Amino acid sequence: MLTSESLYLIMPHIVLAITAVVVMLVTAIKRNHTVSFVLSLLGTAIAFASLFIIPNESRKVTTLFIVDGFSTFFLGLIIVTTFFIIVFSHPYFRGRKEVKKGEYYILLLIASLGAIAMANSDHFIAFFLALEVMSLSMYGLLGYLKKSPFAIETAIKYLIMASVSAAILLFGFALIYTHTGTMELSEMANMVEVNKDSIIFLSGMALVIVGVGFKLALVPFHLWTPDVYAGASAPISAFVATISKGSVFAFLIRLFIDLNGDLRSSVWISFAVFSVASMLIGNWLALRQENIKRLLGYSSIAHLGYMIVALLAASQSGVEAVAFYMVAYFINMLAAFGIIGYLSPKEGEMLNIEDYKGLFWKNPWMAILFTGVLLSLAGIPLTAGFLGKFYLLLSGVGSTLWFLVIILVVSSGIGLFYYLRIIVALFSGRKEVAENEALIPGGSSVLAGIVLFGLFVFLLLIGVYPSGLIKIIQTLVTPIL
């Protein structure tokens, strides 16, 4: 039962919900893009500040939600990411006259509300409802640029795939409930131990694996990913790459922990196969891409495969490595799509690698920032991406997952090639660049530039001095183990 004493435990959810309502009312009274933007920023900032009143101890909010350091960590990551996406959205949509801006921020806030609710979920029903809140908002966000030749197609593809995966996931939850008699994750471990080889239970877990595989875009459930990344606006591509996947992964971590690693013979093998396939096929398909957003889409498939390796380690170091890598991954993807949005003309986007040829000679600071982000994604030393992969490898070696570790190293080497392709394009073509008007930003802003520079600095700071982030992770995430 929800009491007044427990309301402060879900204060971030309340603040985001109120912010969405306020933006909706203001938009209904008078449309003003800047006002909606400022209110959204202010609401997300207050939601983040409200995290500091939540105690670092495990508490239940009814039977549906659990509030602890683990959920607080992911709530903070999601809310900060939402803040940055809002910052990138204002200059991006400012020059697009056919778009009504106010509704965009309402949908974005509601989608983020669903995402943080997933991170708090301790119940299948709570997770599913939160997932649908996010997904329903995503349909509108993906198709928001109505005059874009790809936006509506992108939204319909995501609608079909999300609906199918949701149905599979819900059926899996039903089968697990049939076997265990509970949908609470914290109560499930004891029920599973009685008969963990039940056909009904294993069938339910198989369906859950498939549903989660669709949401995380693991191979072979990845086919929607490059089309959605390429067809959506740059800020929403960043949302799909980070928040929508990170929130599902947070729930997956909690599910694995609550089951005490008892399913290594079935679930473990399935996820190992998906991890290997995602690492190899994601990087291989990225090699063949000329569209930079599709390239980043296939790249994200590989990065989720990397994180599965640490998850399968089923250890304290594995969970800490996932949390560290997810922070680095979020920053990398935010910065990459933020730069794409920053450099985009007032109509359309710079989609092909060739469009970025000679960026250094036209906009040297942005080329340097983009290079740093790409090197971090590739895992080059002195960047957050390198240390993230190092901790993933360390957790895999600690659990003697030698085959997965070898595949991670080999696939990372493959990935280095297509990141270098983009970097070469950034610094080449000095003679032709003066005639390339596409390299002149059409929707840039001072605030977006400052945020991009801050993300770049943070990537280097984590790569050189990671102890601060590690201490936060050990304080918040580790106690749930």
Mean pLDDT score, 29-43:
89
Place of tokens 């105690």: 55
- What is the residue-averaged pLDDT of the chain? 85
16-27: burial string, b at 16+ Cβ within 10 Å, e else? bbebbebbbebb
Peptide bond into 466 cis (omega under 30): no
pLDDT-derived band at 316 (thresholds 50, 70, 90) equals: confident
Place of tokens 């009143």: 53
Question: Cβ–Cβ contacts within 10 Å for residue 400, how many?
Answer: 10
CA dist 291 and 295 (Å) reads: 6
Q: Is the pLDDT of residue 235 over 70?
A: yes
Phi-psi category of residue 260: left, alpha or beta, with phi > 0 → left and psi -120 to 50 → alpha: left
Q: How many separate helices (H) and strands (E) can be counted in the chain?
A: 20, 2
Tell me the two tokens of residue 69.
């350091």
Q: Is the pLDDT of residue 48 over 90?
A: yes
pLDDT-derived band at 10 (thresholds 50, 70, 90) equals: confident
Q: Is the pLDDT of residue 435 over 70?
A: no
Mean pLDDT score, 203-227:
87
Nearest to 255 by CA among 210, 208, 221: 208
Q: Is the pLDDT of residue 327 over 60?
A: yes
pLDDT of residue 223: 83
Supply the DSSP symbol for 121. Answer: B
Phi, psi at residue 291, to the nearest 5°? -80, 120
pLDDT higher at 264 or 286: 286
Nearest to 19 by CA among 120, 109, 143, 147: 109
pLDDT of residue 39: 93
The size of the chain, in residues, is 481
- N- to C-terminal Cα distance for the chain? 26
CA angle 195, 314, 330 (to 5 degrees): 125
Tell me the two tokens of residue 87.
């910052």
CA dist 391 and 226 (Å) reads: 28
CA angle 186, 2, 23 (to 5 degrees): 105
pLDDT of residue 1: 61
Out of 47-51, 363-367, 424-428, give the one with best mean pLDDT: 47-51
Mean pLDDT score, 67-72:
86
Phi, psi at residue 463, to the nearest 5°? -70, -30
Helix (H) or strand (E) run with residue 67 in it: strand 65-67
Q: Write the pLDDT tens digit of every residue in 236-276.
A: 999 999 999 999 998 888 887 776 555 556 777 888 899 99
Mean pLDDT score, 190-206:
72
The answer to whether the beta carbons of residues 259 and 189 sit under 8 Å apart is yes
Tell me the two tokens of residue 204.
């339910």
Place of tokens 């929403």: 236
Percentage above 90 pLDDT, the chain = 30
- What angle, 0 to 180 degrees and rounded to 10, lies between the N-to-C axes of helices 292-312 and 384-398? 30
Q: Is the pLDDT of residue 442 over 60?
A: no
pLDDT-derived band at 57 (thresholds 50, 70, 90) equals: confident
Q: Is the pLDDT of residue 431 over 70?
A: no
Tell me the two tokens of residue 207.
């369906």
pLDDT of residue 108: 93
pLDDT of residue 304: 92
Out of 74-78, 414-418, 477-481, give the one with best mean pLDDT: 74-78
Mean pLDDT score, 359-377:
89
Cα atoms found within 13 Å of the Cα of residue 397, Cβ hemisphere only: 8
Q: What is the DSSP string of 266-283?
A: IIIHHHHHHHHHHHHHHH
Q: Write the pLDDT tens digit of every residue in 288-302.
A: 888 899 999 999 999
Residue 247 Cα distances to 240, 391, 400, angstroms: 11, 21, 28
pLDDT of residue 302: 92
pTM for the structure as a whole: 0.92
Q: Is the pLDDT of residue 34 over 90?
A: no
